[in-house]
Amino acid sequence: MVTKSRLNRAQLIALLLPGLLVFAAFTVYPIIRLFWMSLCDMSFSSMLTQPFNGIANYKEVFQDQTFWTVFVNSIVYTLITVPGQMAIGLFTAILLNGIKRFSVTFRVINYLPVVTSWVIASLVFRYIFNTEGLLNYFLWKILGVTSSNIRWLDTRWGGISVAMILGIWKGIGWNMVIFLAALQQVPQDLYEASDIDGCGAWGKFIHVTLPGIKGTILFALIELTIGGFNVFTSIKMITGGKPAHQTDTLLTWMYYKAFSTGKFGYAAALSFVMALCLGLLAIVQFRMMRNRDN
Amino acid sequence: MRTRTKLLAAMLACLMFLTVGSAFAEGETVTINFWHHYSAQSAENETLMNVLIPAFEAENPGIKVNAVSHEWAELHDKVLVSAKSNALPDVARCDIAWLPEFQKMGILVALDEEMPDFAEVSGKLLDSAMSTTVIGGHNYALALNTNSKIVFYNKAMLEEAGVQVPTTMDEWVETVKKLSGENANGQQVWGWNEPALAGWNICPFIWSFGGSLTNEDQTVATGYINGPATVKAVETFAELVKAGGITGFNSGDIPMTDGFGTGRYAMMLEGPWKSAELAGAYPDVAYGTAPIPAGEGGSISVLGGEDIAMFNTANKEAAWKFMQFMTGEFAETEMAKCGQIPVNKAALESETVKAADYAPFIEAIQTAKARPTVAAWSEMDNDLTVAMTAVVSGEKTAQEAMDELAAKWDELLK
Amino acid sequence: MKSLNGARIRGMILRYLLLALGTVIFTLPMIYMISTSLRPNGALYEYPPRFFPKWEALTLENYGYILNQSKFYVNFLNSVFVSLSTITLAAAVSSAMAFVLGKFKLKANKLIFGFIILTMIIPGTTMIVPQFELATKLNLVNQLWGLIPFYVAWVIPFSTFMIKGFMENIPGEIMEASWIDGASVWTVYTRIALPLASPAIASVSIFNFLTAWEEYPWANTVINDTSKRTLPIAIAGFFGQHQFTQWGYVFAMSVLTLIPVVLIFILCQKFFVQGLTAGSVKG
């Protein structure tokens, strides 16, 4: 065919090249470089020499108490926010799927948190969850469910909780939209068949809806897991890692080590471990998806 | 639909043109990049942007000043990172505690070697302040301003509680406890505010209790930062925190100025800039000042202040002019109006400075001590915050935390 | 039959009630942000705290301050410049890549696509250290336009992935005819593929715009000058000044920053949904 001709091949490459170059230079090269940096001594004091250092950076990371603290924080954040936003998003989608009027209005409003930038949303949440803030006043003086101001932002799990609530609040809209699209593709006759079998609403959900949207659930799982480990701006804005790095996550801690103490080698090693783990996790999840397709 | 898209595209194109245009519309003059940590909405920054820089640029046609405000901790980090990325500014206003670190990195210009008129310029500044710029026998900066912290107290709150301003550390503990509790609205109030748990905040207590951070040569911490007097200071502070007497260092707390201005914090230890800040934001609050209460070590506050330093990538001639201007009588007098105590001898004699009543601060400076002048201070400071956090949260005893800290510091001081 | 109808109606009412409740919870933080931006800074620590300011206390002084005193215009134009350049360049290069990858069988296809998927898996911020080093070497630190290549590189994987899916669905016959007419690859790309893929490109561009508009960690790391800051750094900077935070200013600036985004979102809602669901339903 015509595509085989020399000329066309040159044109194809010309079309590919600009994108590939940018991509290779600013994304692929840094990944490779990251690995190399993680094997070098790259502190402020050895800025110019960058001697090869073997696995010393990795050793330092794994022997560091704070690393394990922030590691647990990231795991907890992901384990709670991912199912949290998926469940609420799916529930909202199911509610929306059954109504006709105002469906678009609800959808637009519920999606607004997604388009709100992380910096702004984090500051709003920080303001609301202030010890002297509106929420504590509401809980204590109006509802009476607490008997003092809760120190949300001052403790390890308090700070992480606020970040998690923000993460869920901001993620529900995205889940709602993709689940709504998935729900609309579940064949209607399956529901009718289950009606005849005498299934209740819950039965229908388990036997028809969930299998019907399995692909979307896996897709969301992969995307949100990556997003969960990518949490950065909200922690930086809400607690800044305080008190004493106890609310830091993997990335905020990595950033602190690199840009506040100059330990770029340590930061590179931590980043590389993270990238590797997430890569493996995603491959497993992709496999699960492919199995479902076959 | 079509026309709407076209309209949108046209609008976007216009906007882009505008932004590109504004991005490239710069003239051909020398631009000095000056980094500082006057906060963006402060009176100091207003003075810098609207009075000092225009005056300097008028005096020195051909030199423009691009002043960049960073938050205090961020300025320190940005300088370190910029050193790595060859993006250092020409001149920066640096906390006196940072100079040894920057000097060790080899990014500062030894002014006494490079500037022929250095002796003349530095002669106009206080010797005591200029001593903060000396490392290994060379001057790496000019002194810009000096300060120390004294007690600010809310007159009405002390009167209501029927207590006097504390003069000893024992009185201080009692007074803080008495001032803490609930106000008429049922809101919690605290006797003392401390906005962080770093050296700048904790050192005055350690020193006043008779403790110390390191030996005289700044080579060993064991036996000093974990010595009995230091541990006593840390313990006393932590107990007051646990008793609800001190707060301010938590992320969820009311910011210091707002809390003091609205009567939620009765006392705080702060510098001369606080008067201008309170006058601007909370003009109605009646407050008094006093020296930090004396303990076994005396009434010892922490020596603060800033130097103005030149980096070795700078346009030296223009940078030096700007540094002379900033430490000159005019600039120092203007800055004195916003709470920056001058170090320029002529400015100190001016009517403005005399009217500003810096006497209590200048008195505190006489006995104040400097934080360790070592290159590793920033890292030590961070360790100290971590240790203090563990103590006030009850995770570790003061002795445990300080023992661990001493071992870490010994390593860093080697 | 009647009772079934009753149950249905009850079900519907429950649905709407739950949705309305959800909507209230969704929007409360935003409303609180707006209401805070409309009260004087001195009233921020009033007791008891109020969700809405007192009617007579409503003020636009925070907005006045942001528009007159701060460098809001500069920051705004910076963000516009960076975001628009990013989406334009990203649309150009990734639609070309998607066209080639989706419509032609090259040997390198698998490798390229593998890398694209790989980089979609790794959180962007993990690469900040080597990227910073790269920016240093290329002298892109503290350059406003220096943000653009990085943003473009970030959005290329997602954009190419999405547009490629769309290109694959263009029926082969349309292109076949052009080949026979002797058209060049370039002609087919610009005359046939691009117009047909324009909905996908539009929805991808909206997402890319949001990414560039709100990006914080990278811009905060490489930009120093006040006059080169984009909106997120400017807002964070307002907040970061310790000791007393002027929430009124922070939120006034936030509201002004959000307006364009919300407008674009509402106007282009259709593309949003398209872009989101294309990836998810296909799997």
Q: Do domains B2-147+304-367 and B150-302+374-412 have the same CATH topology?
A: yes
Token reading at C146: 């220096």
**Res. A195: pLDDT tops 80:** no
Q: Which of A77-91, A114-128, B5-19, B91-105 has the lowest mean pLDDT?
A: B5-19
**Shortest CB distance from B68 goes to which of C135, C226, C246?**
C226
Confidence tier at A44 by pLDDT (50, 70, 90): low
Grade residue C1 by pLDDT with cuts at 50, 70 and 90: very low
Q: Looking at residue A142, what is its pLDDT?
A: 87
pLDDT confidence of residue C280: 56
> Residue B144 corresponds to which tokens in the numbers above?
């810009």
Name the nearest CA neighbour of A86 among A147, A173, A204, A187. A173
Would you call A147 an interface residue with chain B, using a CB distance cutoff of 8 Å? no
CATH top class, domain B150-302+374-412: alpha beta
Which phi and psi (to 5°) does residue B302 adopt? Answer: -100, 140
* Residue contact A106–C213, C-beta within 8 A: no
The reply to whether C238 touches chain B by the CB within 8 Å rule is: yes
**What would the DSSP string read from start to end of A189-221?**
HHHHHHHHTT--HHHHIIIIIHHHTHHHHHHHH
Cα–Cα distance measured from residue C72 to residue C69, given in angstroms and rounded to the nearest whole number: 8
Percent of chain B residues past pLDDT 90, beyond the cut: 73
3-class SS string, chain B: CHHHHHHHHHHHHHHHHHHHHHHHCCCCCEEEEEEECCCCCCHHHHHHHHHHHHHHHHHCCCEEEEEEECCHHHHHHHHHHHHHCCCCCCEEEEECCCHHHHHHCCCECCHHHHCCCHHHHHHCECHHHHHHHEECCEECEEEEEEEECEEEEEHHHHHHHCCCCCCEHHHHHHHHHHHCEECCCCCEEEEEECCCCCHHHHHHHHHHCCCCCCCCCCCCCCCCCCCHHHHHHHHHHHHHHHCCCEECCCCCCCCHHHHHHCCCEEEEEECCHHHHHHHHHCCCCCEEEECCCEECCECCCEEEEEEEEEECCCCHHHHHHHHHHHCCHHHHHHHHCCCCEECEHHHHCCHHHHHHCCHHHHHHHHHCECCCCCCCHHHHHHHHHHHHHHHHCCCCCHHHHHHHHHHHHHHHHC
What would the two tokens of residue A148 be? 């003092």
Contact assessment for residue B248 and residue B130, using Cβ atoms and an 8 Å cutoff:
no
Type of residue found at B88 = L
CA distance B209 to chain A (A): 25
pLDDT confidence tier of residue A293, bands split at 50, 70 and 90: low
Contact A241, A261 (CB under 8 A): no
Chain C residues closer than 8 Å to B40 by CB:
237-238, 241
Q: Which one, of A21, B70, B192, A252, lies nearest residue C126 by Cα?
A: A252
Measured in degrees and rounded to the nearest 5, phi and psi for residue A70 equal -70, -30
Residue B6: pLDDT band with limits 50, 70, 90? low
- pLDDT by residue (tens digit) across A130-174? 888 889 988 988 888 888 889 999 999 999 999 999 999 999 999
Residue A99 is nearest to which of C15, C121, C277, comparing CB atoms?
C15
Percent of chain B scoring above 70 in pLDDT = 93
CB contacts < 8 Å between A and B, how many? 57
User: What contacts B184, CB < 8 A, 6 or more positions away?
Assistant: none
Q: Is the ipTM of this complex over 0.85?
A: yes
Q: Is the pLDDT of residue C42 over 70?
A: no
Chain A contact present for B187, CB below 8 A? yes
Interface test with B, best of C80, C136, C224, C270 (most B CBs within 10 A): C224
Band (pLDDT 50/70/90 cuts) for residue B130 is: very high
pLDDT tens sequence across C75-118: 999 999 999 999 999 999 999 999 999 888 888 888 888 888 88
Q: Is C68 on the interface with B (CB under 8 A)?
A: no
Per-residue pLDDT at C51 exceeds 50: yes
User: What pLDDT does C283 receive?
Assistant: 37
Q: CA of B382: which chain A residue's CA is closest?
A: A244
| B254/A132 CB distance under 8 A | yes
Using the Cβ of A266 and the Cβ atoms of chain B, whether some distance falls under 8 Å is answered with no
User: Is the pLDDT assigned to residue C7 strictly greater than 90?
Assistant: no
- Cβ distance A22 to C12 less than 8 Å, yes or no, reads no
Q: CA B250 to CA A69: how far, in whole Å?
A: 19
pLDDT digits 0-9 by tens, A173-190: 999 989 998 998 888 888
Domains of chain A in sequence order: 64-293 (1.10.3720.10)
**Structural domain boundaries in chain B:** 2-147+304-367, 150-302+374-412
Chain B within 8 Å of C219 (Cβ-Cβ)?
no
Interval B312-364: pLDDT, tens: 999 999 999 999 999 999 999 999 988 899 999 999 998 888 887 888 999 99
Q: CA nearest B341: which of B366, B315, B318?
A: B366
Mutation choice for A interface testing from C129, C192, C251 by most A CBs within 10 A: C129
Q: Do B258 and C45 touch (CB under 8 A)?
A: yes
Q: Does A289 touch chain C (CB under 8 A)?
A: yes
User: pLDDT above 70 covers what percent of chain C?
Assistant: 92
Q: Is the CB of residue A132 less than 8 Å away from at least one CB of chain B?
A: yes
pLDDT in tens, B367-409: 999 999 999 999 999 999 999 999 999 999 999 999 999 999 9
- The minimal CB distance from B255 to the residues C74, C81, C243 is found for C243
- pLDDT tens per residue across span C189-248: 888 889 888 888 998 998 899 999 999 999 999 998 888 999 999 998 877 554 556 788
The tokens 């790496």 sit on which residue? B140
Band (A46; pLDDT cuts 50, 70, 90): low
Helix, strand, or coil (residue A28): helix
**Which chain B residues are Cβ-neighbours of A133 within 8 angstroms?**
252
Quote the minimal CA–CA distance from B344 to chain C in Å: 28
B85/C132 Cβ within 8 A: yes
* Mean pLDDT for all residues in chain C: 86
The residues pairing with B236 across neighbouring beta strands, listed in sequence order, are: none
> Which CATH architecture fits B2-147+304-367?
3-Layer(aba) Sandwich (3.40)
Q: List, as one string, the DSSP characters of chain C.
A: -HHHHHHHHHHHHHHHHHHHHHHHHHHHHHHHHHHHHTS-GGGGG-SS--SS--GGG---HHHHHHHHTS-HHHHHHHHHHHHHHHHHHHHHHHHHHHHHHHH---TTHHHHHHHHHHHHHS-GGGGHHHHHHHHHHTT-TT-STTHHHHHHHHHHHHHHHHHHHHHHTS-HHHHHHHHHTT--HHHIIIIIIHHHHHHHHHHHHHHHHHHHHH--HHHHHH---GGG--HHHHHHHHHHSSS---HHHHHHHHHHHHHHHHHHHHHTHHHHHHHHHHHHHH-
pLDDT digits (tens, 9 = 90+) for A62-110: 999 999 999 999 999 999 999 999 999 999 999 998 888 888 888 888 8
- Confidence (pTM): 0.90
C-alpha B385/C-alpha B381 separation (Å) is 6
